[in-house]
């Protein structure tokens, strides 16, 4: 069993994020999902990003980090798109990280520290033709993470950004089910350590 902190994407703490957390709970894991948007959710990614811009991306990330102050030391951080920022920052800088899983986004391994923590396992999940992931440098960052940290990079057929959120139109049931299966297998390897 893993203690997991799961950070939502730019559309907020949607029903799909809650459903993903519930699937992890059903597998026996403890999951905390901080609401970095104070209850706000948005119909479109653009509206959610506008809100994050108004509040300040730094403020949103800090809200995520502040929400885990009292969390136990050994945690797996999971982030969806915008939520990858606090997940990756905490995985790289907070003592006791057991692993990290990034959906739909990835930033360079040196974004929050000089290097990726030695031995910290990580997965990255995205669609291979997702313009946001490919054209904004996330794919390059993920490939760098493969080189320096041995990350597992999973690219799924398609172009949708938030494919793993069951409450959104871009949800891809087949890809999301495979991604969940891979995350559960990843968590099982951490339990075996």
Residue ranges covered by each domain of the chain: 3-192
Q: Is it the case that residue 170 has pLDDT exceeding 90?
A: yes
Average pLDDT, stretch 4-23?
96
Q: What is the pLDDT of residue 96?
A: 85
Q: What is the pLDDT of residue 135?
A: 94
Average pLDDT, stretch 79-87?
94
Burial (0-12, 13-18, 19+ Cβ within 10 Å), 39: exposed
- In whole angstroms, give the CA distance from residue 193 to residue 185: 13
Q: Which residue has the tokens 């960052």?
A: 141
Higher pLDDT, 191 or 19: 19
Average pLDDT, stretch 163-181?
97
Q: What is the CATH number of domain 3-192?
A: 3.40.50.1820
Contacts of 46 (CB under 8 A, 6+ apart): none
Provide, rounded to the nearest whole percent, the portion of the chain with pLDDT above 70.
98
Q: Is it the case that residue 193 has pLDDT exceeding 70?
A: no
What is the reported pTM? 0.94
**Which run of H or of E encompasses 99?**
strand 97-103
- In whole angstroms, give the CA distance from residue 168 to residue 165: 6
Per-residue confidence at 95, pLDDT binned at 50, 70, 90?
A: confident
Q: What is the pLDDT of residue 192?
A: 60
Q: What is the pLDDT of residue 157?
A: 97
State residue 47 phi and psi, 5-degree precision.
-65, -40
């Amino acid at each position: 069993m893993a203690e997991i902190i799961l950070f939502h994407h730019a559309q907020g703490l949607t029903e799909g994020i809650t459903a993903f957390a519930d699937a992890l709970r059903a597998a026996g894991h403890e999951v905390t999902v901080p609401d970095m948007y104070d209850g706000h959710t948005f119909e479109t990614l653009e509206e959610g990003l506008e809100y994050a811009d108004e509040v300040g991306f730094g403020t949103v990330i800090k809200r995520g980090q502040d929400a885990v102050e009292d969390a136990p030391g050994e945690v797996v951080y999971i982030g969806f798109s915008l939520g990858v920022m606090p997940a990756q920052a905490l995985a790289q800088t907070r003592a006791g990280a057991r692993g990290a899983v990034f959906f739909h986004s990835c930033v360079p391994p040196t974004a929050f520290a000089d290097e990726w923590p030695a031995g910290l396992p990580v997965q990255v999940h995205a669609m291979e033709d997702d313009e946001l992931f490919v054209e904004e440098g996330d794919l390059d960052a993920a490939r760098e993470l493969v080189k320096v940290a041995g990350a597992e990079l999973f690219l799924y057929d398609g172009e949708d950004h938030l494919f793993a959120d069951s409450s959104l139109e871009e949800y891809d049931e087949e890809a999301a089910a495979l991604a969940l299966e891979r995350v559960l297998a990843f968590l099982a390897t951490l339990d075996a350590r």
